[in-house]
Structures are given as structure tokens and as C-alpha cells.
A and B are shown apart, each in its own frame.
Chain A
Amino acid sequence: MVMSSIIRVVTRVSSSRVVTTCCRRALYSTENKARYYTKKHEWVAVNGDIGTVGISSYAQDALGEVVFVQLPDVGRELTTGEECGALESVKAASEVYTPVSGTVTEKNDTAESTPSLINKSCYEDGWLFRLKLSSPEELKQLMDQTAYDKYLEESH
């Protein structure tokens, strides 16, 4: 926990990174973007043609403290439902499957080096990867927040 805050502080002090971080935040922040969910608890939030992917709060809680993160490399082309990474806690392993098709544009290096970020901030700092959507119509197959909440209530 101490480690992660140190890393973040250092990132922000480095002046060139501050700009990058701020721009990215403005550009890709999922704060006000609608999230769409899979039945297996991944979410994607879309800005333009870029989707940001993470796991839901329910999933991070079920998995427990994440201690190892493996994410898809930039440039990799993914088809919806494809296995593209893994999260490991002491008690369990879970594969990550992409909720939509596209080409990976970025992965969250901070989450890879500080896996507990996924537990602390699964919708913001703990996102997993971004991809350029190749078939945006796939989003229609996913659940919006209301549908996902209902799904959690009914089936869990």
C-alpha cells in the first residue's frame, strides 16, 4: 500500500509524465463514461473508438487481493471473448477475457507492477488495458449498469 502511493507520487513529480497523465486522464477517464459489463464481470467503457477494460468491484472482491497481473501486449488483436490476460490472488487464478474485439493500444503498467490497485480502484486507476474497437456494435451484447446490478442481485 505504501509502495503504490510512492509510485504514484513519483509519477506525478516527473514533469513530462504529469502532462501525459493529465491528458490521458482527461481523454480516457472512465469516471463519467458508461460502463458495459460481461456476465463474467469484466467492464468496458468507451471513449471515441477506444475502450478501457477492467473488472467489476464484485469480481475483485470475489478474487481477493490481487498479487499478480498479466495483461495483453500493445498491438495484439483480440476477438471478443478471447483470453488475453490473467489475475492471480493467493487463493485463486482467473483469466481475463476481452469484452469486445479490437487492437490493444495500451496496458496498465502501474496495475501490473502494483496489482493491489485493482482491488483499491477497479473502475479508475486499476483498469487493465485499452483497445481500439474493431466492432463497436458488440457493445450492444453487453449489460449496462442497471442491467448488471440486476444481474448481480438475481444470480448472486
Chain B
Amino acid sequence: MLSYRYITRVFCIKQSNVKTLSIQRLYSDNVCKTQKTPLYDLHEKYGGKLVDFAGFLLPIQYADMSVSSSHLFTRNSSSIFDVSHMLQTNVYGNDCISWFESICPVDLKGMADGTSSLTVFLNKNGGIIDDLIVTKVKDDQLYIVSNAGRIDVDKQHMQETSEAFKKNGKDLSIEFLSITQRALIAVQGPKAASVLQPLTNIALKDLMFMSSTVGQVAGVNCRVTRCGYTGEDGVEISIPADKANTVTEALLQSSDVKLAGLGARDSLRLEAGLCLYGNDIDESVTPVEANLTWLIAKRRREEANFPGADIIMRQIKEGVSKRRIGIRIEKGAPARKDAVLKDKEGRDVGKITSGCPSPSLGGNVAMGYVVEQLKKPGTELLVNIRGKDVPCNVSKMPFIPSRYYVKK
């Protein structure tokens, strides 16, 4: 029996309680509950192997390339990923910044117009409701991209907190962009900018990592943000849904870019040390435990007025009992989610949250949580894979150096 246990966990966040998903389910025609993205026809045209990811039909890979070839092509050249399933939200109003800072630990006030930041929605215990990218378009306008697997939760959270805010006479309105309105593609890799530049009036040499602007791409008005989920240079392009095909096809005219699917997206983000919500972070962990303390902006630490600030500030001061770390397994099978980590004496010391073979490095990479005393890179541990204890090492992340477009 071939059971696609791990793929289920990675790619069907909404069904995280379902432990096994047979091939039938993955490739079933019975997909009435799943939504198509504006690029569905394009995926079909280029041989995308479509799977249900968080309720959306998306390609796990394309017929012409294996996941590892596609991964390596992204690292050496560039790839286009359909990420239209993610939730795009516009926020307007004079009080949008103070509202947003009441639910996230980011310093929006201190950010320049047209810049972006990774941040997290926090619950009252400091647990991570979702991770997201926020762009401060200007003082009275924000643009947010958050996870597909958390659409319902995020919408409810933004709605409830904003309603409470508005009752106090604040000026704020929220616009969720539906998948029929707006598409989102990520162009990632060292050649992403050179592929995009001939098609846009945006001067990409001036668009630094984590900044965002609007402009024309292939004659279509788009928002282009220099960010991504691969560790490479690249952009995410927000496109009116009915023009998504035009823009993507125009980009595909270059031989330096190919379509890539969720499979490569997952191995690329793992090598880059980036978290997958639902695996590596969730409501049960704080940014401090998740080794994302840097998300708590300096000014916000002083003010200590974000959700869960008491707990998070205490953790920053006094430490935590577990921490997210990278794990490198040089040889053998990859460790996947829920594999138990042990110390050399065989005691349970933590758990893997995601892992896969590393196409760029060989061997395997993984992330997980270990007890605080064992978090140091180089620490030798064991990971139990199908009953066997396999030697592994705590590793620094990212596993491969990031190549973001930053000022040198």
C-alpha cells in the first residue's frame, strides 16, 4: 500500500486531522469542493499535476520536470509559481496602521511608504494565528498577503478586531480580494528580475527586497512586491484575475523561466529555512519559540502592547523551553513531520515539523523543535525514522545562503 501520509500533512492543511490520503483521493476527479485559481486553464495547458491544496486545485509539479529538477531550475534560473490561493487583503482608512499594530508586533509606523514586512497575527497567549506579509502602501492604506490554509480564520480575525476598532469611532475599512478578482504569481530565482524587466515599466534595480510598487506588467496594471518563499531574489505580482493568463504567458516567453509547482515550493522554502504555517508554526507556539523573535519590532517591545505581549516579553527576557531549529541528515531517509528527535542517550528531546530531501545540498533537511539546551548548531542528535534512530545534526538556517536583493 502506498499511503501519502506526508504529502497530506504538507499540502492539505485544512485536513490536518486526516492522517492518510490515498492516491485515489489526491488524484480524484471528485473535486467539487475545491476552487480553481484564475490560472487553472494555464496549469492544464502546461501539464500541471493538480492536487487539492487547502481547498484549491494547484499543480504539485508539471509534466515536463521532476520536483528536484524544478527546484534546481529555480535556484539557477527562475520559476513562476501560482500563489493565487493566498488571501490578498486591502485595508484603507486613517486608522489602519493603529488597528494593524493592535493585532501584530510589527512597527508599521516606523516603516517607509512602499515597504513590506513579514509579521504574524498573534493570539492573546502570544501564539501565532498566521504569518503574513504586510505592505505599508501609505499611511492610510495597507496590502496584506496571508496563508490559504488560514483564509477563514484570518478573515474572521481581521473582521472582528476591525469591527471593535470601528466602534470606537476609528476610520478603517477592509477589502478581501476574492480569487475571482485577483491572482497572485511569484517569480523566483536569480533570473527573475531579468525575465520581468523587459515587460514592465517598474525600474527593478530600485525595487529592493521587501518593497512594493504598482506598475504595468505586459500592459496590465499590477502590484509588484520584491519578496518570496524560496530564499532567492524574486517578486510576487498581484494581477487582476482576468489578466493573470496574459501576464504569465508573457513571462513564459523567456527561456529563463518555467512553471513550478507546490512540490518545489516546499523544498525551496525548507532549504531557505522559511516556516510553513500548520507545520512549523501554529497557535501553540510563540514567535520566540519559533526562533522568530526578530519579528517583535524594537519599538513594539518597548510599548509591549501587542497581543500576548506579557508572555512574549517574559520569554524574550527569561528564555523558553523549546526552540525551532534546522536539522541536517547527511545520509539516508528524510525525516518528515512528527518524527521524534532524541539525544544521544535516547531520550525524547523534540519533534520534526517538516522535512524533505534537499535537491541543492544532497542528503536531507528538516525543521523541528528541540529542548532549549540542545538548540546549538552542530549538536548531534538522533531522529527516529520508521523505527530506526538515524544520526542528524542541529544546523544553522537557512541551509543555503539567501540571495535576496538587498543593498550591499
Question: Judging by beta carbons under 8 Å apart, are B23 and A90 in contact?
Answer: no
Question: Judging by beta carbons under 8 Å apart, are A62 and B334 in contact?
Answer: no
Question: Judging by beta carbons under 8 Å apart, are A65 and B332 in contact?
Answer: no
CB-defined interface of B63-86 with A at 8 Å, one 1/0 digit per residue?
A: 000111101000000000000000
Measured CA separation A86–B10 after assembly (Å): 18
Question: Judging by beta carbons under 8 Å apart, are A91 and B1 in contact?
Answer: no
Give chain A residues whose Cβ lies under 8 Å from the Cβ of B2: 40-42, 55, 59, 62-63, 87, 94-96
Question: Judging by beta carbons under 8 Å apart, are B28 and A89 in contact?
Answer: no
Give chain A residues whose Cβ lies under 8 Å from the Cβ of B69: 65
Decide if A93 is an interface residue (CB 8 Å cutoff).
Answer: yes
Least Cβ distance of B72 to chain A in Å? 11
Question: Judging by beta carbons under 8 Å apart, are B71 and A40 in contact?
Answer: no
Question: Judging by beta carbons under 8 Å apart, are A70 and B23 in contact?
Answer: no
Decide if A155 is an interface residue (CB 8 Å cutoff).
Answer: yes
Query: Which of B1, B24, B333 lies at the interface centre, i.e. has the most chain A CB atoms within 10 A of its CB?
Result: B1
Give chain B residues whose Cβ lies under 8 Å from the Cβ of A88: 333-334, 357
Known A-B contacts A90-B356, A90-B359, A91-B61; the reply to A68 vs B334 at CB < 8 A is yes
Least Cβ distance of A112 to chain B in Å? 11
Question: Judging by beta carbons under 8 Å apart, are B386 and A86 in contact?
Answer: yes
Partner of B263, one of A41, A81, A90: A90
Decide if A67 is an interface residue (CB 8 Å cutoff).
Answer: yes
Give chain A residues whose Cβ lies under 8 Å from the Cβ of B332: 68
Decide if A38 is an interface residue (CB 8 Å cutoff).
Answer: yes
Question: Judging by beta carbons under 8 Å apart, are A65 and B66 in contact?
Answer: yes
CB-defined interface of B192-232 with A at 8 Å, one 1/0 digit per residue?
A: 00000000000000000000000000000000000000000
Give chain A residues whose Cβ lies under 8 Å from the Cβ of B267: 90-91
A-B CB pair tally, cutoff 8 Å: 93
Decide if A156 is an interface residue (CB 8 Å cutoff).
Answer: yes
Measured CA separation A8–B69 after assembly (Å): 23
Q: List 21 A-B contacts (CB under 8 A).
A: A38-B1, A39-B1, A40-B3, A55-B2, A58-B23, A59-B2, A64-B67, A65-B66, A67-B357, A68-B333, A68-B334, A70-B333, A70-B386, A88-B334, A90-B264, A91-B61, A91-B266, A92-B6, A156-B23, A156-B27, A156-B28
Give chain B residues whose Cβ lies under 8 Å from the Cβ of A41: 2, 23
Give chain A residues whose Cβ lies under 8 Å from the Cβ of B10: 91
Decide if A97 is an interface residue (CB 8 Å cutoff).
Answer: yes
Q: Which of A64-90 contact B (CB under 8 A)?
A: 64-65, 67-68, 70, 81, 83, 86-90
Least Cβ distance of A15 to chain B in Å? 32
Number of interface residues of B (CB under 8 A): 34
Q: Which of A99-156 contact B (CB under 8 A)?
A: 155-156
Q: Which of B5-33 contact A (CB under 8 A)?
A: 5-7, 10, 22-24, 26-28
Give chain A residues whose Cβ lies under 8 Å from the Cβ of B191: none
| Chain B residue at smallest Cβ distance from A63 | B2
Give chain A residues whose Cβ lies under 8 Å from the Cβ of B263: 64, 90-91
Question: Judging by beta carbons under 8 Å apart, are A40 and B6 in contact?
Answer: no
Question: Judging by beta carbons under 8 Å apart, are A90 and B357 in contact?
Answer: yes
Least Cβ distance of A61 to chain B in Å? 9
Beyond A70-B386, A86-B386, A92-B7, 20 extra complex contacts between A and B, CB < 8 Å: A38-B1, A40-B1, A40-B3, A40-B23, A59-B23, A64-B61, A67-B357, A70-B333, A86-B333, A87-B2, A88-B334, A90-B71, A90-B356, A91-B67, A91-B262, A94-B3, A94-B5, A95-B1, A155-B24, A156-B28
